[in-house]
A and B are shown apart, each in its own frame.
Chain A
Amino acid sequence: MKMNVDDKLKILADAAKYDVSCASSGSNRKNKDKGLGNSSSMGICHSYSEDGRCISLLKLLLTNYCIYDCAYCVSRSSNDIQRAAFTVKEVVDLTINFYRRNYIEGLFLSSGIFKNADYTNERLIRVAKTLREEHNFHGYIHLKIIPGCSPEVMEEAGLYADRLSVNLEIPSEPSLQKIAPEKNHSSVYKPMNFLTDRIKLYNDEKKRFRSTPRFAPGGQSTQVVVGASPENDFDILKLADNLYNQQRLRRVYYSGYIPVSDDNRLPALKTPPLIRENRLYQADWLLRFYGFQVDEIVNHQYQHLDLKIDPKLAYALRNMHLFPVNVNLADKEMLLRIPGVGVKSVNMIIQARRYGRLNFEHLRKMGIAMNRAQYFIDVPGRPIARVVEDPFKIKSAVLSKDKNSQLTLF
């Protein structure tokens, strides 16, 4: 049976949706010579799926045929599903036409493994190369690197893609080998480390020679699946912290495991661990933008993130001796630790207090979330009734007000 593009799209977008990375930011590829597209470093979400996730890229698998049998994956070889494969031309045509209509920022292309890693990656690269060279396309391209890929192939991928990613998927080696018998961590780390070095080299040389050929200017990212194996939040965040500090990854994505099979290698989950996933993203923000050390968030004593409250509030409640923070005097680092106060608010506070002393009312008007912040700040005009120092009382007060706004970032 010959499939048309619409049939393929339904199958191969459906299978690609479990990869949660969506960002189209962090690259800067300027349109030139009257070409098509421009990647601003902001990134734009053009729509949102009904599960509330940003749609900014056309996310596809080139094929869902796969020789491997990873238990957590819909495309695994033992799964009895309909298979399909796009031609290079079909993907190029979809990308260009969606881009011209302003539906998307670019393409995110992944694939099941046809024959081996290199063979598969070469096909992905062909799509990117055609877009760049034949269509003068400057939109965003994210290519998935298949574990086990050789340096030569990655070298070529980096020339055409804005971002590359090798997925870790399962956070520990023993779990990975149990769930994905053909994979191991070294087949992931080898290409990841190669890319880390290669991207660093590019960044260094770019500073000296403006003409340095681009190499994955949007850096690399990875994804870990949460809840398919027994690792706790401490394990996962320690891993992420390492990836940020040592491998210089731009983003680590956390994908709450969605039961796609009743394979007995996997836990029997009814629903994906969405709240846990959200807490991990919040903790990840604290690492990247708030100057937190990983063991301030999770450590040997507190190995799990509190599912009821956000990690910054949890941190504050465990460290009541550091609060209340004097908003008019504290340094930036401490301001960033006040629950309910975001990076933008901190910047506003720092700028505004140069003109004079701020009071409670000023902060409220600036839009600070007082339902949390009020317990942790020392500022003129703070209503006496709000001076509560018992962490248990604070927690229950916040929770009772919070019922409706559970899944938000701070």
Chain B
Amino acid sequence: MIFIYDDTYEGFLSVIFEVYDIKTRPDEIHKKSHFQAGLFGETLEVNTDVERASRVINGLKKKLSARAINNLYRCWLSEIPQIEMVIFRYVAYALKSDKNIESNYAHPDVLEVKKVVKMIGREVHRMHAFVRFQKTKDEVYVATITPDFDVMALLPKHFKDRYQDQQWLIYDTKREYGIFYDLEKVSEIVLENAEWQGRNKVQRAVLDEGEDEYENLWKSYFKATTIVERTNIKLHLKHVPHRYWKYLPEKN
């Protein structure tokens, strides 16, 4: 049986509930938006049910630590094809075991979850590192990103802790949504008619006049701080992968 859900995590948890409810093992689980009506297999579209989703979480609480449960969510954010099945098997394994299974790294799904969580952690860390704000004329500091995984939901706390006295916006131009801090709270937003420069950068016309100056000072700093005798481009590229360059003033 192929289960289909509405792209939300609650929807996915509803699928897990359904699987146990109707006692039918899934062959595949897919987001509705990603699913192309296939040629093979029977499909079942599961309605999202917040109540059922939280019953799944409560069931897991008896078997797993809060951290492990949160890790499953992080895993899901990876959008890796078939990740739903990995999480499902992990959950099934946890539910049927008498003892906590979360650190049995000899088990392929436990190990896989650990690996994906690590990848997600790395991506979040890179967002913390490589987000570059540009100040706009209306005093909002704006950054655009296109993370490999959909990690936006994991970013608000870090940036809110750090930038409490400035308004900021971080926007995923690939997934077309962002988070905005208005000096009080962080909320998810979708820009109407967003116009970017070169598909994913803030247009220069809306930037504050001081912006060029600080970008240039930063470039000067970046250049001056390099020790030419130690140049090691291979190492440099390992730390700053090419695909992030478009956001870094020092690389433009």
Contacts and interface: CB of A to CB of B under 8 A. Distances in A.
Interface of A: 5-6, 9-11, 13-14, 16-18, 30-31, 34-38, 40, 44-55, 58-59, 94, 97-98, 100-103, 136, 258-259, 271-272, 274, 348, 351-352, 354-356, 358, 362, 365-366, 407
Chain B CB count within 10 A is highest, among A5, A47, A352, A366, for A47
A354 B225 CA distance: 49
A34 B231 contact: no
B65 interface: no
B227 to A, nearest CB: 5
A102 B250 contact: no
B224 A35 contact: no
B248 interface: yes
Interface of B: 101, 103-108, 111, 114, 125, 128-135, 141, 143, 158, 161-166, 183, 210, 214, 216-218, 220-236, 238-240, 248, 250
B103 A351 contact: yes
A45 B129 contact: yes
Secondary structure dominating the interface of A:
loop
A377 to B, nearest CB: 15
Given A31-B161, A47-B250, A9 B221 contact: yes
Chain B CB count within 10 A is highest, among A9, A362, A366, for A9
B162 A38 contact: yes
B230 A101 contact: no
A6 B214 contact: no
Given A14-B224, A103-B132, A36 B166 contact: yes
B252 to A, nearest CB: 12
B109 to A, nearest CB: 12
B225 A100 contact: no
A44 B161 contact: no
27 contacts: A14-B225, A16-B225, A17-B224, A17-B226, A34-B165, A38-B162, A46-B130, A47-B129, A47-B250, A49-B236, A50-B233, A53-B227, A58-B221, A59-B225, A98-B217, A98-B221, A100-B133, A101-B218, A103-B132, A258-B227, A259-B229, A348-B105, A352-B103, A355-B107, A365-B111, A366-B105, A407-B235
A341 to B, nearest CB: 14
A44 B158 CA distance: 12
B106 A52 contact: no
A36 B164 CA distance: 6
A258 B225 contact: no
